[in-house]
Amino acid sequence: MRYLVLLLVTFVLNTYSQSDFGSSFNPTYGIVQANIPQDYYQEANGKSSEQLKDALYQIISNHTVFPYTSSSTDTWDILQLSDQDPENHDNMILVYTGRSQDKGYRDGSGNYSQYENGNGTQNNSWNREHIWPKSHGFPDEDDNAYTDVHNLKPSDRSVNSSRGTKDYDYGGSQHSEASDCLTDSDSWEPSDFVKGDIARILFYMVVRYDPGYDHNNNSFDLELVDYTTPGNNDPILGKLSSLIQWHFDDPVDDFEINRNEVIFGFQQNRNPFIDHPNLVNFLWGENVGQDWNESLSFNNIRFDNDLTIFPNPTNGILNFTEDLQNEKIEIFSLSGQKVFDKEVNNINSIKLNLNSGIYLLKVSNNHRVINSKIIIK
């Protein structure tokens, strides 16, 4: 069955040599749609705080586990599909440098000479970066968290080594190879293009592995803390406040949605913070203690083929291809806050006075609900 899944996903993704969306370093929005199974998050509706976190844990915890390295389908194989370069399907995008690199030039391939003229340094090969360091809670390759592809990203070998097990936070000096990254003795600041991606991976980990169990069935609880943890191998990682800010500064893009879909095709579990970014506010932000509901979520999108909204992005004027009759227009920020609410009749355009950013537009009446992402320039 695993071979069949790999073959099907490989066929779908490689039918064309290019995709119509960008990478996280050249982001696009609104092209890739999340295919969330109906009622997947139903058990989380109406929950708040710890009950919400526990409900999400129950939803995503029983994932299909693939070996780290194997002659059968393994994490190498899945990453080559999940992080494939949309512009060149022979390559993949490396997490800290943004470099598009040949999939074959990887650690353990034994095939370096064609890339480095036989000098054998291997420093520019790609390997698997554990975004949540494996030494912080799950050091054994037999542990499920160790091989969880949601937590793995392809990285330049030497840059991965430089990051090591450092926490994520602001500040430091420019890295010599990953020039968009800053680092100091206890922290690593990635490129602005992937700060949100990394934050959402860590949010996933702290829900999925609370509790987690190692291969001996010993439990461990991953926890995000609001400080850095140099020299500490406890199952904690920082810095929470920075990660929350990165989550909002770098919203979910098409590359990230596509990655979530690919991993779901293998592991059969999803990253809730990609599907529903406003969950962050309900677990760690201004909505703590309030009941979460999927209907307000950013990526809960159903399109009506008869209605098109344009232009998008917009400077503030939205046009509709049909007159809206007795409809309600609501607009929500990424954090779930309602910023516009108006009942309209017999109009085909609206003028918005909103700050630049990405929003969720909801148009509804008694017969339909239409949701769409809009970008205000």
Region 115-139 average pLDDT: 79
Q: What is the pLDDT of residues 313-361, one digit of tens each?
A: 788 888 888 888 899 999 988 777 889 999 999 998 999 999 988 888 8
pLDDT of residue 334: 75
Residue 2 banded pLDDT, cuts 50, 70, 90? very low
- Is residue 17 classed exposed, middle or buried when 0-12, 13-18 and 19+ CB atoms within 10 A define those classes? exposed
Look at residue 299 and tell me whether its pLDDT is greater than 70: no
Q: Report the pLDDT averaged over residues 160-184.
A: 96
Percent of the chain beyond pLDDT 90? 64
- Round to whole Å and give the CA distance between 183 and 190: 9
pLDDT at 120: 45
User: What integer pLDDT is reported at residue 303 of this predicted model?
Assistant: 42
Query: Rounded to an integer, what distance in angstroms lies between the CA atom of residue 372 and that of residue 370?
Result: 7
Sequence-distant contacts of 4-7: CB under 8 A, at least 24 apart: 5/73, 5/265, 5/266, 6/73, 6/77, 6/266
What does the pLDDT read at residue 109? Answer: 64
Q: So what's the pLDDT on residue 302?
A: 38
What would the mean pLDDT of 299-307 be, rounded to a whole number?
Answer: 47
Which stretch of 71-80, 119-128, 166-175, 182-191 has the lowest confidence by average pLDDT?
119-128
pLDDT at residue 371, rounded to an integer: 76
- Looking at domain 309-376, does it have CATH number 2.60.40.3080? yes
Rounded to the nearest integer, the mean pLDDT of the chain is: 87
pLDDT of residue 118: 44
Residues forming CATH 2.60.40.3080 domain(s) in the chain: 309-376
Give pLDDT tens digits for 101-110. Answer: 999 998 876 5
pLDDT of residue 115: 53
Q: State yes or no: pLDDT of 205 exceeds 60.
A: yes
